[in-house]
């Protein structure tokens, strides 16, 4: 069965409003169904595209819509939607503003630049109050500031919270209801009435202004590092899971004294795809995820916009050689991760002797020092987790997991896993993540769409909340 849910994203990227008008005219001519541009609600490209997708679905003419898109833009790959394969022998037909610009003559226009997505930041800062397990919560957005007033008590000692947290960590028993119940607990803590009101106002204003939504940035004070272990990705507002809604991508924001840096890079984007599957650890289905990444980026590779370098059975020596000789823009590791005795995190590399060795955060920071690497993706069990220890330390970073430490150390963005992610879930998540990055979407948007893809790939499971996005970048645009 074909997946049409994200067809509107492609329409939005490829066609302007006049182009959508042309789609309606061609679709009406081909099917005889009464559809007009004026009858599509909204006045933005995204809204019109969504309405067109929904109209086609309701009337059973989505395959016809795909054929019309193919007739106008034969070079576009529609196979993921069940449509035709690209035909590079034919030029795209100019429509909308393209047709006006060349007098209506058929020509192969330049590849359109994907429109930049625009989000307002909604920053939620959590600070210690001086009372154990109680915190000051403040929110800030372009529409003002709000605070919880009295300190909010986090339910660390609550039996329900402890049960839900344990259940979500256990992939064998975890189910959707656990995520919903956890989401409500987190909402009550994070969104007291004044902050909920500011959130609703900010989201509504962003929509009126034609923006794509609001980026929810959870900023946890370094002195409250025990909150890093909380699965914020399951937090709900009054209606939805924040991280499953493209209007409200959720980011874990790491406060440091470093200036945030953008993560855009020039073409070609260099990706180092490394993996380790030591015999001393459980066997992982590494090849399916590698295939998913390559498939998602195949068109970019063919166009020379992306170069993928591979490192099989990575050892500390081979990894440092690869990275220092040819620093990647994106480092993607597939393998095992674990918490170390000191509370930090590490990646399990091959030691060359049928066993493994742990690469800790300090060495990773030294390895990726410099400005070349903008994004690290860690597809490794527990690579986004933090120590369960809650007592304070003179150096809170000692209790961080690997991903927070990397961002604290200067990496603009890291995608990692806070719990064990089953092999069957890693493949669809990474496939969708790279597909949306290849479409030019910001990293936080791509992560949200990947969560949605995973939610639909594996029903009745909360696996979509396991990936975590840590980001210090002012925006999430990967491609320059």
Q: Which of 106-110, 140-144, 355-359 has the lowest mean pLDDT?
A: 106-110
pLDDT score at 95 = 64
Mean pLDDT computed over 170-185: 85
pLDDT tier at 311, thresholds 50, 70, 90: very high
Instruction: Kindly tell me if the per-residue pLDDT of 103 is higher than 50.
Output: no
Mean pLDDT for the chain overall = 85
pLDDT tier at 249, thresholds 50, 70, 90: very high
pLDDT score at 387 = 61
Residues 413-471 pLDDT 10s: 999 988 878 878 888 898 899 888 887 789 999 999 999 999 999 988 899 999 999 99
pTM over 0.75: no
pLDDT score at 235 = 98
Residues 58-69 pLDDT 10s: 888 999 999 999
Q: Which of 81-95, 155-169, 180-194, 295-309 has the lowest mean pLDDT?
A: 81-95
pLDDT tier at 115, thresholds 50, 70, 90: low
Instruction: Kindly tell me if the per-residue pLDDT of 96 is higher than 80.
Output: no
pLDDT score at 325 = 92
pLDDT score at 173 = 66
pLDDT score at 184 = 96
pLDDT score at 26 = 86
pLDDT score at 480 = 57
Better-scored residue on pLDDT, 188 or 149: 188
pLDDT score at 431 = 87
Residues 327-369 pLDDT 10s: 999 999 998 887 788 777 888 999 989 899 999 999 999 999 8
pLDDT tier at 3, thresholds 50, 70, 90: low
- Most confident range (mean pLDDT) of 97-106, 243-252, 274-283 is 243-252
Helix 423-438 with 443-457: angle, nearest 10 deg: 140
Residues 373-392 pLDDT 10s: 999 999 875 567 666 544 33
pLDDT score at 113 = 53
pLDDT score at 421 = 81
Mean pLDDT computed over 257-274: 82
Instruction: Kindly tell me if the per-residue pLDDT of 56 is higher than 70.
Output: yes
Q: Which of 86-100, 129-143, 168-182, 338-352 has the lowest mean pLDDT?
A: 86-100
pLDDT > 90: percent of the chain: 41
């Amino acid at each position: 069965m074909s997946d049409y849910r994200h067809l509107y994203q492609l329409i939005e990227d490829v066609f302007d409003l006049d182009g959508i008008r042309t789609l309606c005219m061609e679709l009406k001519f081909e099917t005889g169904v009464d559809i007009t541009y004026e009858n599509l609600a909204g006045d933005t490209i995204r809204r019109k595209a969504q309405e067109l997708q929904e109209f086609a679905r309701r009337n059973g003419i989505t395959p016809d819509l795909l054929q019309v898109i193919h007739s106008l833009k034969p070079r576009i790959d529609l196979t993921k939607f069940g449509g035709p394969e690209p035909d590079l022998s034919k030029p795209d037909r100019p429509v909308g503003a393209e047709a006006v610009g060349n007098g209506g003559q058929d020509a192969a226009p330049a590849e359109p630049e994907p429109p930049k997505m625009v989000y307002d930041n909604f920053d939620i800062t959590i600070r210690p109050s001086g009372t154990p397990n109680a915190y000051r919560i403040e929110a800030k957005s372009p529409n003002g500031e709000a605070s919880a007033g009295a300190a909010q008590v986090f339910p660390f000692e609550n039996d329900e919270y402890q049960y839900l947290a344990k259940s979500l960590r256990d992939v064998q028993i975890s189910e959707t209801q656990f995520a919903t119940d956890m989401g409500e607990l987190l909402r009550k803590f994070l969104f007291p009435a004044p902050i909920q009101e500011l959130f609703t106002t900010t989201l509504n204003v962003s929509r009126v202004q034609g923006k794509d939504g609001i980026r929810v940035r959870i900023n946890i004070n370094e002195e409250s590092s025990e909150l890093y272990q909380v699965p914020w990705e399951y937090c709900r507002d009054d209606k939805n899971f924040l991280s499953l809604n493209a209007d409200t991508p959720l980011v874990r924001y790491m406060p440091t004294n470093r200036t945030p840096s953008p993560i855009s890079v020039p073409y070609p984007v260099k990706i180092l795809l490394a993996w380790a599957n030591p015999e001393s650890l459980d066997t992982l289905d590494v090849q399916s995820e590698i295939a998913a990444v390559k498939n998602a980026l195949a068109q970019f590779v063919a166009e020379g916009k992306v170069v993928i370098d591979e490192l099989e059975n990575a050892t500390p020596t081979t990894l440092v050689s690869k990275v220092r000789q040819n620093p990647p823009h994106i480092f993607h590791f597939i393998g095992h991760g674990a918490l170390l005795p000191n509370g930090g995190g590490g990646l399990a590399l091959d030691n060359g002797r049928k066993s493994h060795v742990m690469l800790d955060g300090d060495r990773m920071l030294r390895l990726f020092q410099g400005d070349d690497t903008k994004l690290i993706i860690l597809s490794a069990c527990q690579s986004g987790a933090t120590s369960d220890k809650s007592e304070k330390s003179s150096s809170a970073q000692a209790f961080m997991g690997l991903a927070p430490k990397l961002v604290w150390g200067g990496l603009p963005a890291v995608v990692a896993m806070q719990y064990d992610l089953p092999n069957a879930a890693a493949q669809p998540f990474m496939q969708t993540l790279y597909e949306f990055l290849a479409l030019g979407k910001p990293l936080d948007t791509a992560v949200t769409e990947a969560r949605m893809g995973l939610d639909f790939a594996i029903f009745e499971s909360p696996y979509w909340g396991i990936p975590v996005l840590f980001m210090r970048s002012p925006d999430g645009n990967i491609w320059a």
